[in-house]
Structure 1
Amino acid sequence: MIRSQGLSIGQVCRDMKLGETAVRRWLAQVDAEQLGQPGIGKPLTAEQQRIRQLEAENRQLRGDVDILKKAFGLLCPGAAMSFALVEQLQQKAVPVNQLCRVLEVSRSGFYAARRRAQAQPVVCEASVQLKASFAASAGAYGSRRLRTAMAARGTVIGRYRVRRLMRAHGLRSTWKRKFVHTTDSRHALPISPNVLNRQFSPTRPNQAWVADITYIRTRSGWLYLAVVLDLFARKVVGWAMAPDMQAGLVCKALQLALVQRKPAPGLIVHSDRGSQYASAMHQELLRKHGLVGSMSRKGNCWDNAVMERFFLSLKMERVWQKDYANHAEAMNDIADYIVNFYNSQRLHSKLGNLPPNAFEQQSAIQLPIGVCEKT
């Protein structure tokens, strides 16, 4: 009546006693059906059902893509990872244009990254020299000594760049502290006065020596090391090792130093108050060669700080990096450290970054090992 006869909605509703809202809804439904849209009581065609299904799948895909994009952004993978993903998906026949558009990266940037990856890698000369110097020090040098060692090889760079390269290549010295008590000062033996009195910088060799004992852990039990060090060049001039800490151990180390250096009478030999150094055997050896005995104050490790520092360097740079199976293996390795590294190669900051042997040579008063002549 409304569409065919042109009657108004209000008139039809009054004549047929119908609600105007319902009539308007019916009119909208009729108009939709005439336009091909589904209406109440009218089933969808196969084409309409396919369209509805595709629209639903499209909405779901857009939602999934939005979630993935948000997650990809939160992960902050960076351009390098995005380019790697493009490279991987491209092998599965996915176009580069589409991949770059979806991942929101530059196509030119992707090709530039591919060219850089395919190019011949550039060898960093500083990194090569750094690794060589670090390996030559058996992993002992830090940034300061590595910088000096590299300068000696002809590569001059700053210390902070050395530190950055060490971090980049994972080069790091290991500090590890252990403690075993080796000094027994609870005895009634005579004690020498502190003649050295922390005068650690003599003007010539064979003027003042320091001596002490330390321990070395092996799978076969403790090994004890006695060392004699010349303060002038911080050089080890005598050492001995044994599975016990008898007085004969320190006497052997001192005898080796005497044979190698042939010092003049009056040389100061400083040690702690251990019973080995206060023993009659050791005191007799000092008197026989005209040496002056000196001992640290009770419980004061600073009075023999130079020797304590040598023992720390020995353990940090060699002993704590090893797992000795027996005493013989430890003896050979420690002797190698003293002769072939510490005295000959290790840079010493106190000596102007020179090894002890080189410092004595530079001072023109070195006595080579094995040469028996007086200074």
Structure 2
Amino acid sequence: MTYTYFNPTVIEFGEGKIKSITKYIDKNLKVLVVYGGGSIKKNGVFEQVSKALEGYTWFEFGGVEPNPSVETLNKAVALIKEKNIDFVLAVGGGSVIDGSKYLVASAVYDGDGWDFLEGKTIEKALPLGAILTIPATGSESNGTAVISKKSTNEKRYFGSSLTYPKFAVLDPTIMSSLDDRQLANGLVDAFVHTCEQYLTYPNTSLLHDGYAHTILRGLHNLSLNWKDRKTLVWQENLMLLANQALNGFIGSGVPQDWATHMIGHEITAFYGLDHARSLAVVQPHLLRVMMEDKKDKLTLMGKEVFDMPHNYEMVVEAIEYMYKSIGVSTKLKDYDVDDKVIENITGALKKHGMTAIGERGNLTLDKVEKILKMSLN
């Protein structure tokens, strides 16, 4: 193992923690509060933020959509420049936080912010803070973001040590207003994030595998206790597990996959599927196609997570059953896609240079086509 692990985000976890943001934002700074569709103005979160920011000079920008687009975000970039904003406070789920990472980098860049999605290095950024409202992506304490461009049906990602939030508030009581779809999406998203860093080939780290097992077992346990999803204990566990699934540690120094995400991103870009649901329609079928490469870790996962120590093929069935048990389909045919879906997805992957993906670089476009056909059957 050889790796560098870095995570500068302070986590403020627990009820009533929104008021703690004043410890991290100087009163002399101009603040932009960024949020999504406006639910924070109905569930009391905006009121708590407003109270915490009494005495500050602050502005608001709402309307960041799921799968945040540059078309929307560039309007916020213009506002930041117009008002000379010094600090961005993201209040929302992964889309709002990802979008805010784009904002803090683009606001101090002279060119088109989409350049960062094309691979340009971020050299400076405004400071960013996050108040998490929907647990799923782990974006509140990592440096990566996924951004869409509606005009070209693209969904790309970037990452930088400069776009980690300075702090992240995780108050599980905020989750009380979330619906079943949002809770299920969060659970699936966190599960797949963990699998992308775990379901590869054997490594020598007892700690990394053990930590991944703990996260996967926890999420599986939440699915088994789906009836309790409205309780605080269930919700705070999802919030913590989703955070730990993608804060960077379990992937440090071990092989990582991310092919499910690469394919899922293109499905969302073309057809607007929820991010988690785009992953669920890909992952089980990908595991079947790549079974020979992944059978050792599937066997270990069966033993440690599902109590199925002897049949790695059945582990995929267990994953699929888990998703379906909380209302998430694993079939692309259950969504509104057209007859060009395979052509569109493989074409986009080819355009973006993703013709050989996965932990071994051997998941080729013909295998992507096979995966998508299985999901459509």
Q: TM-score per shorter chain, which class?
A: under 0.3
TM-score, length-normalised on structure 2?
0.24
TM-score, length-normalised on structure 1?
0.24
Which structure has the bigger radius of gyration? 1
Task: Choose between structure 1 and 2 for higher RCO, CA contacts under 8 A separated by at least 6 residues.
Answer: 2
